[in-house]
Every structure is written in structure tokens, then in C-alpha cells.
Amino acid sequence: MRKALIVWGGWDGHEPEQVANIFRDVLEQQQFEVEVSDTLEAFSNREKLLELDLIVPVWTMGEISNELVDNVLAAVQSGVGIAGCHGGMCDSFRANVNWQFMTGGQWVAHPGNDGVEYKVNMKYSSGMLFEGIEDFEVKSEQYYLHIDPAVEVLATTTFPIADGPHATNRTVEMPVVWTKRWGAGRVFYNSLGHHADIVTIPQVQEMMRRGFLWAADGKQVAEQQDHVHDKSTAYNGMADSNY
């Protein structure tokens, strides 16, 4: 059975406990063994993190030590997946640039605040991860993020909708969902999820379900690649000795 760790906390406005419970239910339905923690000390045991298949952060703002972040980064680099949403992953620790480097983006604004009506536009150039999910409307915060150019975009939204100083710039397409890699690990992020009711929108919950599975699958893929590499190295060594 695959193992997942959900760590929730930080700013209560994002309803982290409720969101963590929703994610736990989704993962348990996919036959994961799920541990849920409400303390960042859950990241203190590096060896335990390395045994996981998936890490799900649900923690907005706050501070974290470099040691704890380094443990998470090392686990993901080894092949453990990480997947999350909204401020629970890409506005977790504003002062820690290493966290931002791994996750692929950082929230900077939500013009119009909560209640903006906007469209989520699906992109299919990234493969079939979101096959069958059509464009949809949502009424929530519309996240404006600073984005790592390395991310692979799966869904976008268009700015500006709400008025503000940003509106004098040209129209921009802002990523809503993306994937990226961190070493052998897979990273999945969805900017939707301001409150628990947004997470339970059918399209959003299905996107998260698929994102969890995709991120968690990366560990097995990495292990298989390592196995093939080890066999190849051993074969080449035998060939060299025979030569």
C-alpha cells in the first residue's frame, strides 16, 4: 500500500483542517495509507519522509526552519511526490525561497479578492492527465503568481478581470495548474482551493485526485529507472572486464 503524509496548519482562513480531511478521503479511496499531521515537525524525520510515496502540504503562510524544508526537498528529489493547492502549497512559507524553487511558484496577489467569477481553461499539450475535463467557471480568488518558467502548464486563467493597477498591462494567461520535476520527484500544483467548498467542486476534486496519483507514481518510476541503470552498469562492467 502506498503511503501519503498530509500536513495542515497555518492561516485558518483557508480552512486547512477541512481541506486536509477532504484530501485524506480522496487518497484513502485510492488505497493510500494516509497519515495526517497538524505540525511541521512531521517533516523532521528525513528517513520517514523518504519512505513515503506522496507529501501533501496544506499550510498557508507561517515560518519553517531550513532543516525541515531540506528534509522535504531531499525526499522529493529522491522520488517522493508532492502535490497541493492554493495557498496551502504555493503561499506556504514566503521567506523560504528553496520551498518556492521546488513548488514552482509563489502567490503574490488575488485582484478582487474572493468572489471573482472567472474561467479555468484546460490545456492538453501536457498529455492526457486531464483528459475529459472541460473548461469551467469558478467564483473564488483568482490567483496571480510568480511562476517558474520550467513548469508544464495544464490549465490557465486570463487576467485582468477585476480592476487594479495590473489592468494597464496587456492581457496575460496565468497558470492555474502545473506540473514540474524536482530531481526524481514529481510536483503537482493547483491554485484553486480558497475554501473547502472550492476543493469539492467536481472538476477541482478530480484534478486533485489525478494530480495525487500522478505525483505518487513518480517514485515507482524512479525506482524502476534506477534498477535498469544498475543492471546496465553491471552489464557494462562485465563487458569491460571481459574485454
Average pLDDT value for residue range 183-196 = 98
Q: Is residue 217 part of a domain?
A: yes
Q: Note whether residue 150 is domain-resident.
A: no
At 70-86, the pLDDT tens digits run 999 999 999 999 999 99
> Is the pLDDT reported for residue 179 higher than 80?
yes
Residue 80 in any domain: the answer is: yes
Helices assigned H by DSSP within the chain: 16-29, 46-50, 66-78, 87-90, 97-103, 196-199, 202-242
Burial 52-84 (b: 16+ CB within 10 A, else e): bbbbbbbbbbeebeeebbebbbebbbbbbbbbb
Cell numbers found for residue 116: 471573482
CB 56 within 8 A of CB 84: yes
Q: Is residue 169 part of a domain?
A: no
Question: Does residue 131 have a pLDDT over 60?
Answer: yes
Strand partners, 83: 188
Answer yes or no: is pLDDT of 95 > 70. yes
Question: Is 149 within a domain?
Answer: no
Model pTM score: 0.92
Q: What percent of the chain clears pLDDT 90, i.e. is strictly above it? A: 87
Q: How far is CA 173 from the centre of its chain?
A: 20
pLDDT at 223 over 90: no
From CA 65, how far away is CA 70, in angstroms rounded?
9
The predicted pLDDT at position 5 comes to 99
- pLDDT tens readout for residues 121-130: 999 765 689 9
Q: List pLDDT tens digits, range 103-114.
A: 999 999 999 999
Q: Would you say residue 158 lies in a domain?
A: no
Q: Please state the φ and ψ torsions of residue 126, each to the nearest 5 degrees.
A: -90, 20
Count of the separate structural domains present in the chain: 1
pLDDT tens digit sequence for 42-78: 999 999 999 999 999 999 999 999 999 999 999 999 9
112/163 Cα distance (integer angstroms): 7
Mean pLDDT in the chain?
A: 93
Question: Domain containing 62 — which CATH number?
Answer: 3.40.50.880
Least confident stretch, 24-28, 209-213, 239-243: 239-243
Sort 239 into a burial class: Cβ within 10 Å, 0-12 / 13-18 / 19+: exposed
Q: What is the DSSP string of 62-88?
A: ----HHHHHHHHHHHHHT-EEEEETHH
Domain that holds residue 48: 2-106+174-242
**Contact (CB, 8 A) for 20 and 9:** no
Question: Is position 226 within any domain?
Answer: yes
Q: Is 39 among the domain residues?
A: yes
Within 10 A of 152 (CB to CB), how many other CB atoms are there?
A: 17
Measuring CA to CA, which residue among 33, 48, 76, 36 is closest to residue 189?
76
- Looking at residue 229, its pLDDT comes to 54
Per-residue pLDDT at 242: 37
